Amino acid sequence: MHEMSIVKRFMNIALDQLIQQGKENETVESVTLEVGEMTDLVPHYLQKYYEIASKGTPLEASKLIIEMIPMKVKCLDCGCEYNPMKTPDRLCPDCNSGNCHLLQGRDVSVSSITLRS
């Protein structure tokens, strides 16, 4: 049920954005969610819980669009940016170092809300 708490959290963010823009009475067509590869969230469950949690809200008839964001790290030794999930032993493909810094792939965020026209 980890996905349900995430769904409720991003739904609140989306609803807050609508209120701030004075569009809380508008019909929402879709909500786009960016999900990092490292979150271990399962898109199928996000979709399922979104349907349940959105009932009775301005998001009820909307579609949830999930965009998966791949993990990307930067090698602190040579500066190469790469996805360690796609390299042997998860090491830098340029210098074979394991000394890296995470750049993306851990976050979940609402990237857009589309209203019906």
Number of structural domains in the chain: 1
For the chain, the first-to-last Cα distance in angstroms comes to 34
Closest to 113 (Cα-Cα) out of 70, 63, 69: 63
pTM over 0.85: no
Taking the C-alpha atoms of residue 108 and residue 94, their distance in angstroms, rounded to an integer, is: 29
pLDDT at residue 8 is higher than 80: yes
For residue 36, what are the domain limits? 2-115
Q: What digits encode the pLDDT tens for the residues 10-34?
A: 999 999 988 998 888 888 999 999 9
Q: What digits encode the pLDDT tens for the residues 33-42?
A: 999 999 989 9
Q: What digits encode the pLDDT tens for the residues 44-103?
A: 999 999 999 999 988 999 999 999 999 999 999 999 999 999 988 999 999 999 999 999
- Residue 96: left (phi > 0), alpha (psi -120 to 50), or beta? left
CATH number at residue 18: 3.30.2320.80
- Higher-confidence residue: 38 or 2? 38
